[in-house]
C-alpha cells in the first residue's frame, strides 16, 4: 500500500508538467545563448534564396523578462483555438441537452467494437479536409458519442485524436494545408532546380486514398489490441431524455436544408451564391480556405448555428426542451468542468510564447535540416532520415507551415538532386508532421485532448501528460513504422502518387 501511495505522490499533473517544461525551455535558452548556438536559415525572398543567421535569445535578460510580463495576456488572448473551442462547446451542449445526439448515436450500439473504432478512426483521417477544425469539432463530439454507445469516453477521445493526427497528411481529398505547402514546394523547386515545375493539388491523391484505408484498418487493430483493454466500460446512469423518431426526422430535414444553404454559399457562379468565398483568390481551394475567406473564418459559426437550430427543433418536438429559458440554459450545459481546460491552455500559451521568442525551435530545426544535407544519403535512407528529422523538429515546432517554410528551400532541391520529386517530398513531410504532432505537448490540440481525458475520467487513475504518452506511444510508434513501410513500398514499386505525380523524377 505504501508503494502505491508513493507512486501517486511523484505523479506530475499536466499543469505542473507544462510549468516544468517551460522552465526547462527558459534555462535552455540561457545555456544555448551563452554557448552562442546558432543556425543558418534559408528562405525564398523575391524569387531568390537568401540565408540569414538565427540565434537563441536568452529569456533571462531584461528584454526577455519584459516580454514575459508584457505579453502573457496577449499570448493567451491570441490563442484562436480558445475561442473556437468555446464555440464548439455551445454547439455540442445543445445537441446533447436537447436529446438530439442521444437519438443519433444510440442506434450505433448495435455495431461491434471494431466497427465503431474503424468508423471513428476513419472519420479522423478524412477530417483533415477541414484542417485543425477537425480537432475542435470531433474531440467533444466523439466523447459524447462514446457515452451513448456505453463505451469509455476516454477511449473515444484517444481514438479520434490519433486518427486526426496520424492521418493528418492524407485523406480522401486535398485540403488548404496541401495548397499552402504546395505553394512553398513549388517556389523551392523553381528557385534552385526546375524553373518549369508546377505543383498539382491532385499529384498525391492515389497514395492519399490508399493510405487512408490502410491506416484506418491497421489503426483499428492496434487500438483494439493495445488501448481498448485499458479502458473498461463505464457504469453511467442513463438520462431521462426522450428519443422521438418524429423529432429526429424533422431535425434531419432541417439539417439537410441548412447544409444545402451552406454549400450553396461556397458555390461560385450561381444566383446569390459564393457569398462565403474570397473571390480575390485564383484557385477555388484558396477562395474557400484562405485566411481572408469568410467560409474559413465562419466555419465554426456555421457549425454552431446548425447545431442550435437542429438541436432546438429536436428539443421542441421531442419535448426535451420545454421553453426558451430551458433552451438558453441548455446552450451552456457542456461547459461543466471546462475550467481545467482553460487553465491548461493559459500555461500552454505562456510556454509557446516563450519558445517562439527565444528562437529555440528555429535554431534546432535549421541545425537538424543542415545535418540531413551533410549525410549525402539518397533513396530510402534519405526518406527515413527525413521522417525522423521532421518528427524531432515537430516537438518544438508543431505548425506545419512554419516547419515547411524552414525546410522546403533546402529539402526540395536536396530531394530533387536525389531523384525524388517535390510532390513525394511534400507528402513525406506531411506524414512525418502528423506523427510528430501526436508526440509533442507543445501541440495545442494534444493539450486539449489531455483536458478531455481528465473531463471524461471515471477511473481512480489520474490523467497526466506522461501517462498519456505511455498509453498512446506504442500505437503512435507502430503507426509511424506503418507509414515508413507505405512510403518505402510506394517508392520502390515506382507507383504513381496521383494524377501526374510520381515518386521519382
pLDDT, tens only, 455-479 = 888 776 789 999 999 999 999 999 9
Query: pLDDT of 184-205, one tens digit each?
Result: 999 999 998 989 999 999 999 9
Note the pLDDT of residue 419: 96
Query: Which residues are registered as beta bridge partners of 420?
Result: 504
Question: Does 312 have pLDDT greater than 60?
Answer: yes
Q: What is the spatial distance between Cα 93 and Cα 261, in angstroms, rounded to a whole number? A: 23
Strand-strand pairing, 501-502 and 48-55 = unpaired
Burial class (CB in 10 A: 0-12, 13-18, 19+), 86: middle
Distance CA 263, CA 276 (A): 9
Residue 10 has pLDDT above 80, yes or no: no
Cβ 187 vs Cβ 411: under 8 Å: no
pLDDT of residue 61: 96
Residue identified by cell 530510402 is 380
Own/partner long-range contacts of 100-103 (Cβ < 8 Å, ≥24 apart): 100/248, 100/251, 100/310, 100/311, 100/314, 100/315, 101/141, 101/144, 101/145, 101/148, 102/148, 102/239, 102/241, 102/243, 103/243, 103/244, 103/247, 103/248, 103/251, 103/314, 103/318
> Residue 41: enclosing H or E segment and its boundaries?
strand 38-45
**Which helix (H) or strand (E) covers residue 365, if one does?**
helix 360-375
Q: Is the pLDDT of residue 370 over 50?
A: yes
Predicted confidence at residue 1, as pLDDT, reads 43
pLDDT surpasses 90 at 376 = no
Grid cell listed for 353: 510564447
- Which of 30-44, 275-289, 425-439 is least confident? 275-289
The 3-class SS string of 91-155 reads HHHHHHHCCHHHHHHHHHHHCCHHHHHHHHHHHHHHHHHHCCHHHHHHHHHHHHHHHHCCCCHHH
Q: What is the pTM of this model?
A: 0.94
Q: Is pLDDT at 2 greater than 50 in this prediction?
A: no
pLDDT band at 237 (very low <50, low <70, confident <90, very high): low
Confidence band for 234, pLDDT divided at 50, 70 and 90 = confident
Average pLDDT over residues 407-416: 96
- The yes-or-no verdict on residue 4 having pLDDT over 80 is no
Give the mean pLDDT of 380-409. 95
* Residue whose C-alpha is closest to residue 232's, from 159, 119, 155: 155
Look over the chain and give the mean of its residue pLDDT values, rounded to a whole number: 92
Predicted local confidence at residue 139, as pLDDT: 96
Q: Mean pLDDT across the stretch 496-505?
A: 94
pLDDT bin (cut points 50, 70, 90) of residue 297 is: confident
The cell for 10 is: 511523484
Q: How distant is the alpha carbon of residue 49 from its chain centre?
A: 31
Per the structure block, which three cell numbers stand in for 414?
Answer: 536536396
pLDDT per residue as tens digits for the range 90-104:
999 999 999 999 999
Residue 53's beta-bridge partner residues?
A: 40
* CA dist list (Å): 171 to 123, 163, 228, 424, 439: 9, 11, 25, 15, 20
Lowest-confidence segment of 147-156, 277-286, 364-373 by average pLDDT: 277-286
Q: Let me know the angle formed at the C-alpha of 31 by 28 and 34, rounded to the nearest 5 degrees.
A: 145
Backbone angles phi, psi at 80, to 5 degrees: -60, -35
CB 146 within 8 A of CB 152: yes
DSSP state letter for 402: H
Give the least confident one: 30-44, 235-249, 387-401: 235-249
Radius of gyration of the chain (CA): 24
- Helices 444-455 and 14-34, packing angle to 10 deg: 160
Cβ neighbors of 345 (< 8 A, separation 6 or more) are 76, 79, 81, 82, 444, 447, 448, 451
The pLDDT of residue 454 is above 60? yes
In the three-class reduction of DSSP (H, G, I as helix; E, B as strand; rest coil), residue 52 is classed as strand
**Helix (H) or strand (E) run with residue 462 in it:** none
Q: Is the pLDDT at 319 greater than 90, yes or no?
A: yes
Distances (CA, A) of 297 to 64, 83, 159, 168, 290: 33, 12, 27, 21, 9
Give 78's pLDDT tier (boundaries 50, 70, 90): confident
pLDDT tier at 236, thresholds 50, 70, 90: low
How far is residue 3 CA from its own chain's centroid? Answer: 38
Return the SS3 of 345.
helix
Domain ranges of the chain: 2-78+175-208+335-502
What pLDDT, on the 0 to 100 scale, is given for residue 272? 85
Is 224's pLDDT higher than 90? yes
What per-residue confidence (pLDDT) applies to 345?
A: 92
Amino acid at each position: 500500500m505504501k508503494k502505491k501511495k508513493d507512486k501517486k505522490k511523484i505523479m506530475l499533473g499536466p499543469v505542473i508538467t507544462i510549468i516544468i517544461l517551460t522552465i526547462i525551455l527558459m534555462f535552455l535558452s540561457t545555456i544555448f545563448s551563452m554557448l552562442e548556438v546558432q543556425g543558418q536559415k534559408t528562405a525564398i525572398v523575391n524569387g531568390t534564396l537568401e540565408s540569414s543567421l538565427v540565434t537563441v535569445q536568452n529569456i533571462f535578460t531584461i528584454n526577455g523578462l519584459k516580454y514575459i510580463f508584457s505579453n502573457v495576456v496577449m499570448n493567451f488572448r491570441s490563442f484562436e483555438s480558445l475561442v473556437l473551442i468555446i464555440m464548439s462547446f455551445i454547439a455540442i451542449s445543445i445537441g446533447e441537452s436537447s436529446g438530439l445526439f442521444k437519438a443519433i448515436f444510440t442506434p450505433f450500439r448495435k455495431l461491434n467494437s471494431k466497427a465503431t473504432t474503424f468508423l471513428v478512426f476513419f472519420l479522423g483521417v478524412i477530417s483533415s479536409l477541414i484542417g485543425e477544425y477537425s480537432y475542435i469539432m470531433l474531440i467533444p463530439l466523439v466523447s459524447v458519442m462514446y457515452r451513448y454507445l456505453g463505451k469509455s469516453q476516454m477511449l473515444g477521445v484517444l481514438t479520434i485524436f490519433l486518427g486526426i493526427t496520424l492521418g493528418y497528411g492524407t485523406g480522401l481529398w486535398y485540403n488548404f494545408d496541401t495548397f499552402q505547402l504546395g505553394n512553398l514546394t513549388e517556389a523551392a523547386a523553381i528557385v534552385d532546380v526546375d524553373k518549369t515545375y508546377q505543383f498539382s493539388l491532385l499529384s498525391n491523391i492515389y497514395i492519399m486514398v490508399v493510405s487512408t484505408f490502410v491506416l484506418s484498418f491497421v489503426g483499428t487493430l492496434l487500438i483494439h489490441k493495445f488501448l481498448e483493454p485499458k479502458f473498461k466500460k463505464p457504469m453511467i446512469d442513463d438520462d431521462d431524455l426522450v428519443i422521438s423518431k418524429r423529432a429526429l426526422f424533422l431535425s434531419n430535414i432541417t439539417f439537410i436544408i441548412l447544409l444545402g444553404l451552406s454549400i450553396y454559399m461556397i458555390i461560385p457562379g450561381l444566383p446569390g451564391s459564393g457569398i462565403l468565398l474570397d473571390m480575390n483568390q485564383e484557385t477555388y481551394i484558396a477562395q474557400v480556405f484562405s485566411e481572408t475567406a469568410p467560409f474559413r473564418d465562419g466555419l465554426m459559426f456555421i457549425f454552431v448555428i446548425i447545431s442550435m437550430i437542429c438541436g432546438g427543433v429536436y428539443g421542441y418536438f421531442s419535448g426535451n426542451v420545454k421553453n426558451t429559458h430551458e433552451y438558453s440554459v441548455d446552450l451552456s450545459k457542456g461547459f461543466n468542468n471546462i475550467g481545467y481546460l482553460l487553465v491548461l491552455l493559459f500555461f500552454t500559451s505562456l510556454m509557446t510564447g516563450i519558445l517562439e521568442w527565444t528562437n529555440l525551435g528555429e535554431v534546432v530545426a535549421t541545425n537538424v535540416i543542415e545535418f540531413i544535407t551533410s549525410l549525402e544519403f539518397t533513396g530510402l535512407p534519405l526518406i527515413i532520415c527525413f521522417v525522423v528529422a521532421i518528427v524531432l523538429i515537430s516537438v518544438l515546432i508543431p505548425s506545419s507551415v512554419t516547419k515547411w517554410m524552414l525546410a522546403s528551400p533546402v529539402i526540395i532541391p536536396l530531394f530533387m538532386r536525389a531523384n525524388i520529386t517535390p510532390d513525394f517530398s511534400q507528402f513525406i513531410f506531411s506524414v512525418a508532421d502528423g506523427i510528430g504532432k501526436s508526440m509533442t505537448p507543445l501541440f495545442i490540440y494534444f493539450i486539449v485532448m489531455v483536458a478531455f481525458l481528465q473531463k471524461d475520467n471515471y477511473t481512480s487513475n489520474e490523467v497526466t501528460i506522461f501517462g498519456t504518452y505511455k498509453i498512446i506511444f506504442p500505437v503512435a510508434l507502430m503507426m509511424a513504422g506503418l507509414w515508413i513501410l507505405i512510403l518505402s513500398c510506394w517508392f520502390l514499386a515506382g507507383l504513381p502518387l496521383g494524377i501526374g505525380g510520381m515518386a521519382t523524377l
